[in-house]
Amino acid sequence: MTTMVKVAKLAGVSISTVSHVLNGTRHVNDETRQKVLKAIEETSYRQDALARAMRRSRTDSIGLIVSDGGEPAFAEMIRGVEEEAARQGVTLLLANSAEDPQREARAVQALLERRVDGIILARAAGSGPGALAEFQDQDTPLVLMDRLFDEPYDQVGVENREPINELVQHLTSQGHERILLVVGDVRVATLQERHEAFIEAMEAAGTPAGKQLTVVAEDQQKIEAGISKALAAVKPPTAVIACSTVLAAAALRQVQQRGLRMPDDIAFATFDGFAYADLFEPQLTTVRQPAFQVGATAAELLAKRIADKSREPSTVRLAPTIEYRASTGAPTPA
Amino acid sequence: MTTMVKVAKLAGVSISTVSHVLNGTRHVNDETRQKVLKAIEETSYRQDALARAMRRSRTDSIGLIVSDGGEPAFAEMIRGVEEEAARQGVTLLLANSAEDPQREARAVQALLERRVDGIILARAAGSGPGALAEFQDQDTPLVLMDRLFDEPYDQVGVENREPINELVQHLTSQGHERILLVVGDVRVATLQERHEAFIEAMEAAGTPAGKQLTVVAEDQQKIEAGISKALAAVKPPTAVIACSTVLAAAALRQVQQRGLRMPDDIAFATFDGFAYADLFEPQLTTVRQPAFQVGATAAELLAKRIADKSREPSTVRLAPTIEYRASTGAPTPA
DNA sequence: CTGAAAGCGCTTACAG
DNA sequence: CTGAAAGCGCTTACAG
3-state secondary structure chain B: CCCHHHHHHHHCCCHHHHHHHHHCCCCCCHHHHHHHHHHHHHHCCCCCHHHHHHHHCCCCEEEEEECCCCCHHHHHHHHHHHHHHHHHCCEEEEEECCCCHHHHHHHHHHHHHCCCCEEEECCCCCCCCHHHHHHHHHCCCEEEECCCCCCCCEEEEECCHHHHHHHHHHHHCCCCCCEEEEEECCCCHHHHHHHHHHHHHHHHCCCCCCCCEEEECCCHHHHHHHHHHHHCCCCCCCEEEECCHHHHHHHHHHHHHCCCCCCCCCEEEEECCCCCHHHCCCCCEEEECCHHHHHHHHHHHHHHHHHCCCCCCCEEEECCEEECCHHHCCCCCC
Choose among A210, A198, A268: nearest CA to A237.
A268
The pLDDT, as a whole number, for residue B333 is 55
Say if residue B104 is exposed, middle or buried (CB neighbours under 10 Å; 0-12, 13-18, 19+).
buried
Nearest CB neighbour to A48, from listed B109, B115, B278: B115
CB A76 within 8 A of CB A292: yes
The pLDDT, as a whole number, for residue B144 is 96
| Strand D contact at CB of residue A5, distance < 7 A | no
Element (H, E) at A23: helix A15-23
User: Widest CA span of chain B, in angstroms?
Assistant: 88
Listed in sequence order, the residues at least 6 apart from A229 whose beta carbon sits closer than 8 Å to its beta carbon are none
Angle at B176 between CA B170 and CA B178, to 5 degrees: 120
pLDDT at B334 over 50: no
Compute the distance between CA of residue A184 and CA of residue A99 in angstroms, rounded to an integer. 13
Q: How confident is the model at residue B209 (pLDDT cuts 50, 70, 90)?
A: confident
3-state secondary structure of A234: coil
- Rounded, the Å distance between the CA of A55 and C1' of D6 is 12
The pLDDT, as a whole number, for residue A128 is 80
Nucleotide lying nearest to A4, CA to C1' measure:
C9
Chain A nearest-CA distance from B29, in A, is 27
Query: With the C-alpha atoms ordered B186, B188, B189, B194, is the resulting torsion angle positive or negative?
Result: negative
Helices A189-204 and A161-172: crossing angle in degrees, nearest 10, is 40
CB A84 within 8 A of CB A299: yes
Chain A nearest-CA distance from B200, in A, is 32
Nucleotide lying nearest to A19, CA to C1' measure:
C11
At residue A32, what are phi and psi to the nearest 5 degrees?
-60, -45
**Contact: B49, A137; criterion CB under 8 Å:** no
Residues 20-39 of A with CB under 7 A from strand D: 26-29, 31-32
Chain B nearest-CA distance from A222, in A, is 18
Choose among A40, A41, A45, A52: nearest CA to A2.
A45
Compute the distance between CA of residue B167 and CA of residue B287 in angstroms, rounded to an integer. 9
Helices B245-257 and B220-231: crossing angle in degrees, nearest 10, is 40
CB A114 within 8 A of CB A106: no
User: Widest CA span of chain A, in angstroms?
Assistant: 88
Compute the distance between CA of residue A240 and CA of residue A225 in angstroms, rounded to an integer. 15
The pLDDT, as a whole number, for residue A209 is 86
Other beta carbons within 10 Å of A198:
24
Nearest CB neighbour to B274, from listed A1, A51, A276: A276
Cβ within 7 Å of nucleic strand C, residues = A 1-5, 15-16, 19-20, 22-23, 25, 45, 47-48, 51-52, 54-56; B 12-17, 26-29, 31-32, 51, 54-55, 57
Nearest CB neighbour to B54, from listed A50, A110, A112: A50
Compute the distance between CA of residue A8 and CA of residue A288 in angstroms, rounded to an integer. 55
How far, in Å, are A129, B120, B144, B299 from residue B295 at the CA level? 33, 9, 10, 6
Listed in sequence order, the residues at least 6 apart from A68 whose beta carbon sits closer than 8 Å to its beta carbon are A74, A96, A98, A99
| Average pLDDT, integer, range B131-138 | 74
Whole-model pTM above 0.75? yes
CB A223 within 8 A of CB A246: no
User: What structural domains and CATH numbers belong to chain A?
Assistant: 4-47 (1.10.260.40), 59-157+291-319 (3.40.50.2300), 161-289+322-328 (3.40.50.2300)
Compute the distance between CA of residue B108 and CA of residue B59 in angstroms, rounded to an integer. 16
| Average pLDDT, integer, range B101-127 | 92
Say if residue B211 is exposed, middle or buried (CB neighbours under 10 Å; 0-12, 13-18, 19+).
exposed
The pLDDT, as a whole number, for residue A334 is 46
- Rounded, the Å distance between the CA of B18 and C1' of D11 is 11
Chain B nearest-CA distance from A278, in A, is 8
Residue-wise pLDDT for B220-269, tens only, equals 999 999 999 999 999 999 999 999 999 999 999 999 999 999 999 999 99
Residues 129-158 of B with CB under 7 A from strand D: none
Residues of chain A with pLDDT under 70: 137-138, 332-334
Which residues, in sequence order, are bridge partners of residue B241?
Answer: B181, B269
Q: How far is Cα of residue B42 from the mean position of the Cα atoms in its chain?
A: 43
Chain C bases closer than 7 angstroms to a protein Cβ: 1-5, 7-13
3-state secondary structure of A214: strand
Alpha helices in A176-258 (DSSP H): 189-204, 220-231, 245-257
Element (H, E) at A106: helix A101-113
- Rounded, the Å distance between the CA of B169 and C1' of C10 is 62
Q: Which residue's CA lies closest to nucleotide D7 at its C1' atom?
A: A55
Compute the distance between CA of residue A284 and CA of residue A267 in angstroms, rounded to an integer. 9
Q: How confident is the model at residue B130 (pLDDT cuts 50, 70, 90)?
A: confident
- Rounded, the Å distance between the CA of B17 and C1' of C3 is 8
Average model confidence (pLDDT) across chain B: 93
